Chains A and B, each alone.
Chain A
């Protein structure tokens, strides 16, 4: 089985998983106490008005019927209409998902850019003051809550130095590299700390391996040894960790999006849950599930690229 066949099989396997997720989220959001009709009409509303809205939204029908309508619509690519905002859920996701994905990706890239060189340096200079300093800095990253770091960065680099705007997103995708730098940094720093520790210990393990001594004995240039032999092997577990952490990054985006006033899906999800906006919660959960499963797939493919011994099948 080659890589393309493997990818296709995995994509097909996503469908039953998505089905289970749909059942779970459909049930969970309805198990929550609280009524979407009351959420949109306000808490002073009379029972008749609530009943009327239930009828309009189809919430008066039995649950299996509601679920069937939901499945039917999803099969047609229609994720329903937001109860609170009265626009199609697909439109909301199309508007806001790119921002969150950009932020998450940006955070991931920054995390990688920070952690890889730091891990290499720290491992190669193990035991020296360089190693200790690097580890101390990243330890701070692990201990600081994301919102605290975010506010500090905003306050200092944004409000005081005016080097960066105080939150918000830019008018174009290119300008977002500037606008989203601080939020991506605060979101990615925590991940960088985790990745750095993991990579550092992987490298240390690999450094002791026989094939590294052999490569050096053969006279291969140190840089080549570093990249082709040491890093390539050490990165295997770190890449897996990175892939698994994407879900965490997307979750962390919620806080970052709130503090930095970024109109992404993290905030949308939180608002939808508090507002009991069933359609948005369901649709968004599906979207998240798809994104994360694709990331897992890419991680597995990357893993097999790094380590030719593993076969994708």
Chain B
């Protein structure tokens, strides 16, 4: 009897202690993704599918903060500019190692950044274009810039600036960088919280705990708390949700907005709506004539503004997004640094009609929009716009094309309107601005919008180190762009990730990167 009581007490004690522990270490988190990664190289990849996983395998010198607005130390503990802003010196953390136990040196940092900024490598080298040369000296990485660059610090926290092991990479099979990258990406070694251990393409991927990871948890021991993460690829939304509800998945990404309400009511699930940099708009071809030679009604400012006034954004959010999202008041998301709420184009049918009449279209006109075939959201959005704009006489024709064909059409500027979404890749407004508002890059997302004033302000802001002056420049850029209305501004939507209540600490920052290092599972 006494033995039994002791045993019972011991069991009780373990249970109580177990549930009062702050973080429980160990275990595997099963995460459901809608598609598999393609290529896990920080420099040569292109898709979010790769980026959002890469940031768990590799560390750059700095990391983005959780709110997406700033940077924090990562492999580097401190950084400072010279007085002329042309030299940036970073100090490496002590005792940092790659996942194979070899030490991370300033030479590895130099080599990784030189590889990342090489214009022949991948599509992200533009973020580091201001770098002239890099020196590695002891535990210091010294970056020499061609000109002062306010974006260089955020750029160093981006995924493509990840520090890779030079010796291991160069030892990989192959003669060109691309070949070595392919071979190395089969068994990548970085310094992130996890290491790739198994990958059955299209089916699942397992990343396991890196025992040499530098960051410590709240219990004083090294992160991550989890032993491993298993990514299950479940392309069908309905199946992914079923697997989550039947406990085969601990978390599932890209929950269709139509199912969010239902999952919010599920007592076992936290239906997270993480703030994002995701903005949705309808891009318009601003050029005076269309490819077939006919005059383009969208080239008129009044017409474009009219379309914005004729768009009931709140109604769209209710109908298309099931109430999830906020109307845009700038072309960038509220989570982008230097965002300013500039102009909202409140729903006003009368104003829209009078602007159209002013522009010479009192009876409206016909216009076509490209949608991605198979996208429920695109179809719902354009159908709603069809009826809204019909009220001011605009007849909208919807052209559904598969993604690659749609891309080909608008890259050839052969479109009138098209649906578009965007997420930032860097904690700085320069990227989105260079694509949306600056002609030189890709003709303002192929809209053909060109503002000499914006081009000038942008060029200045790219070398302006004073934060106040730079903020002012961006305030003006946003004002000019919003007034010119080259696009129909719609809404900003969060990232819908459904997580079982047994998981804590799983995060997704506005850039889209998943933070798994702070995640842990509780047993109840």
Q: Which residues of A contact B (CB under 8 A)?
A: 32-35, 38-46, 49, 52, 56, 84-87, 92, 95-96, 151, 154-155, 158-159, 162, 165-169, 258-261, 263, 267-268, 271, 274-276
Beta-carbon nearest neighbor of A257 in chain B: B235
B406-462 residues at the A interface, CB under 8 angstroms: 407-411, 435, 441-442, 445
| Contact among B202, B238, B404, B410 for A268, CB-based, below 8 A | B202
User: Given that A158-B246, A268-B202 are known contacts, is A261 also in contact with B402, CB under 8 Å in the complex?
Assistant: no
**Most central of B47, B120, B236, B402 by chain A CB within 10 Å:** B236
User: Given that A44-B442, A84-B38 are known contacts, is A39 also in contact with B245, CB under 8 Å in the complex?
Assistant: no
The residues of B that contact A86 with a CB separation of less than 8 Å are 38-39, 182, 185
Decide if B9 is an interface residue (CB 8 Å cutoff). no
Task: Establish whether residues B235 and A261, one from each chain, have CB atoms under 8 Å apart when the complex forms.
Answer: yes
Beta-carbon nearest neighbor of A40 in chain B: B46
| Contact among A45, A92, A159, A165 for B245, CB-based, below 8 A | A159
| Contact among A46, A52, A261, A268 for B239, CB-based, below 8 A | A261
Task: Establish whether residues B239 and A151, one from each chain, have CB atoms under 8 Å apart when the complex forms.
Answer: yes
Beta-carbon nearest neighbor of A38 in chain B: B407
Decide if B243 is an interface residue (CB 8 Å cutoff). yes
Task: Establish whether residues B47 and A42, one from each chain, have CB atoms under 8 Å apart when the complex forms.
Answer: yes
The residues of B that contact A155 with a CB separation of less than 8 Å are 242
Task: Establish whether residues A34 and B404, one from each chain, have CB atoms under 8 Å apart when the complex forms.
Answer: yes
> How far is B237's CA from A261's CA once the two chains are assembled, in angstroms?
10
Task: Establish whether residues A166 and B182, one from each chain, have CB atoms under 8 Å apart when the complex forms.
Answer: no
Decide if B221 is an interface residue (CB 8 Å cutoff). no
| Contact among A45, A162, A276 for B246, CB-based, below 8 A | A162
Decide if B203 is an interface residue (CB 8 Å cutoff). yes
Decide if B100 is an interface residue (CB 8 Å cutoff). no
User: Given that A168-B232, A258-B235 are known contacts, is A96 also in contact with B202, CB under 8 Å in the complex?
Assistant: yes
User: Given that A85-B39, A261-B239 are known contacts, is A166 also in contact with B246, CB under 8 Å in the complex?
Assistant: yes
- Taking residues whose C-beta sits less than 8 angstroms from the other chain, chain B's interface range is 35 or more
Task: Establish whether residues A33 and B409, one from each chain, have CB atoms under 8 Å apart when the complex forms.
Answer: yes
B56-97 residues at the A interface, CB under 8 angstroms: none
Task: Establish whether residues A274 and B201, one from each chain, have CB atoms under 8 Å apart when the complex forms.
Answer: no
A-B Cβ contacts below 8 A, count: 111
> How far is B374's CA from A271's CA once the two chains are assembled, in angstroms?
13
User: Given that A261-B234, A276-B404 are known contacts, is A166 also in contact with B202, CB under 8 Å in the complex?
Assistant: no
User: Given that A95-B200, A259-B236, A267-B202 are known contacts, is A43 also in contact with B407, CB under 8 Å in the complex?
Assistant: yes
User: Given that A151-B239, A158-B246 are known contacts, is A38 also in contact with B202, CB under 8 Å in the complex?
Assistant: no
Decide if B318 is an interface residue (CB 8 Å cutoff). no
Beta-carbon nearest neighbor of A154 in chain B: B242
> How far is B35's CA from A40's CA once the two chains are assembled, in angstroms?
15
The residues of A that contact B404 with a CB separation of less than 8 Å are 32-35, 38-39, 274-276
> How far is B236's CA from A41's CA once the two chains are assembled, in angstroms?
25
The residues of A that contact B435 with a CB separation of less than 8 Å are 44
Task: Establish whether residues B408 and A35, one from each chain, have CB atoms under 8 Å apart when the complex forms.
Answer: yes
> How far is B407's CA from A38's CA once the two chains are assembled, in angstroms?
8
Task: Establish whether residues A46 and B402, one from each chain, have CB atoms under 8 Å apart when the complex forms.
Answer: no
Beta-carbon nearest neighbor of B410 in chain A: A43
User: Given that A56-B178, A154-B239, A274-B403 are known contacts, is A92 also in contact with B246, CB under 8 Å in the complex?
Assistant: no
**Most central of B46, B200, B405 by chain A CB within 10 Å:** B46
| Contact among A42, A85, A259, A263 for B203, CB-based, below 8 A | A263
The residues of B that contact A40 with a CB separation of less than 8 Å are 38, 46
Task: Establish whether residues A52 and B120, one from each chain, have CB atoms under 8 Å apart when the complex forms.
Answer: yes
> How far is B245's CA from A260's CA once the two chains are assembled, in angstroms?
15
The residues of B that contact A168 with a CB separation of less than 8 Å are 203, 232, 234, 248
Beta-carbon nearest neighbor of A39 in chain B: B404
> How far is B245's CA from A44's CA once the two chains are assembled, in angstroms?
37
> How far is B233's CA from A258's CA once the two chains are assembled, in angstroms?
10
Task: Establish whether residues B405 and A34, one from each chain, have CB atoms under 8 Å apart when the complex forms.
Answer: yes
> How far is B202's CA from A147's CA once the two chains are assembled, in angstroms?
20
Decide if B136 is an interface residue (CB 8 Å cutoff). no
User: Given that A158-B242, A274-B404 are known contacts, is A41 also in contact with B123, CB under 8 Å in the complex?
Assistant: yes
What are 26 A-B pairs at a CB distance below 8 A? A33-B404, A34-B402, A34-B404, A35-B404, A35-B407, A43-B410, A43-B411, A44-B442, A45-B46, A46-B441, A52-B120, A84-B38, A85-B38, A85-B39, A86-B38, A86-B39, A92-B201, A151-B238, A151-B239, A166-B243, A166-B248, A168-B232, A168-B234, A168-B248, A261-B240, A263-B202
